[in-house]
Amino acid sequence: MKARTDHGHRFAGALLRWYDRDRRDMPWRREVSPYRTLVSETMLQQTVVATVIPYFDRFVARFPDFAALASASEDDVLASWSGLGYYRRARNLHRAAGLVMAQHGGDLPEDEALLRALPGVGPYTAAAVAAICFSARTFALDGNAARVVARVFAERQTIDKPAVRASLRARGLRLVPADRPGDFAQAVMELGARVCVAGAPRCGDCPVATWCAARAAGATAKIPVRSPRRAKRAVHLVCVAVVRAGRVLLVRRRPGELLAGTWALPSVEPTPGEGVATDRALAPLGLAATGRGHERGAIRHVFTHRDVTADVVRVGAVGRLVAGVDQRWIDVAKLDSIALSSFARRTLKLAL
């Protein structure tokens, strides 16, 4: 398709008619604002809609605008995000709210370049916010949009290469109508999520199948092409639970660590032949295990780049907690009030 031809106009028209008729009901679509759009787009990074909706509703009820989010503590923000995963998103959103208040008078900037200067706002999120909230004629290229455009134009090169992604974005931009660019952006995302899916696209239900070069070539199953995924690194952990008087000892994950900012059981990677390694897990806290402890079981938890097997051991301990380590005794009945990852929750369930 050539830029701005009648084909492009008809493509956009067909897609928007389908979107108007069949789009899903989502809370951030019912009430649109720059703040709600930024929160939803941040949450939707690497997380499916069904999982995000209840978190979004709770989050915006607790922090209804940039001012409320900026004035909150990181602990409160992470606690509200608890279980959603990828906690860097929450920390970046918190920092972005602070910058919006300090540098932009509480209003999210409309310019894509200024949006990209905010923590955690990459090219896709900046384009999505600019289109949806400010009617900018731009193209938001996420995984769904990349798959749609790759099939429409029968792109056979590996789509995770930067040059190819730039080409896909440029091609997608040709299709964006001058009016309703925000709805068009959401329609492309909707199409990729529900119809032009990975593996076996539902071409018979596609409102723009007429313009799909991959379908015409019988190549939808082979497009898009992606680089082989790297194997996840296997990690073995021992997680140690010390419980006293209805409270459990937790440590905060440090900056740069996996799940940074969240609370978890003390843990360590055992060395070959070391056994359960409880003493080495507790030593940095100023404690020593009394006895071998009780092995409560093991869990397996798959992260983006790691495949973790964790043995959970409950032990008694002696000693005095040292200063300089972010650690806390938490009432077992109040664990829902702090930032716990789903991994930490699973280990605590075994421990308790």
SS3 340: strand
Q: Could you give the residue ranges of the DSSP H alpha helices within the chain? A: 6-22, 27-30, 34-43, 49-62, 66-71, 74-81, 88-103, 112-116, 123-134, 143-152, 162-175, 181-194, 213-216, 278-282, 342-351
Distance CA 177, CA 123 (A): 20
Burial class, 6, CB count within 10 angstroms (exposed 0-12 / middle 13-18 / buried 19+): exposed
Show which residues are catalytic: 41
Task: Give how far the C-alpha of residue 186 lies from the chain's centroid of Cα atoms, to the nearest Å.
Answer: 18
Sign of CA dihedral 71, 74, 79, 81: positive
The β-bridge relationship of strands 306-319 and 233-244 is parallel
Q: How many CB atoms lie within 10 A of CB 297?
A: 12
The amino acid at residue 98 is: G
Nearest to 224 by CA among 250, 196, 247: 196
Residues with Cβ within 8 Å of residue 92, at least 6 apart in sequence: 42, 119, 120, 121
Distance CA 161, CA 127 (A): 19
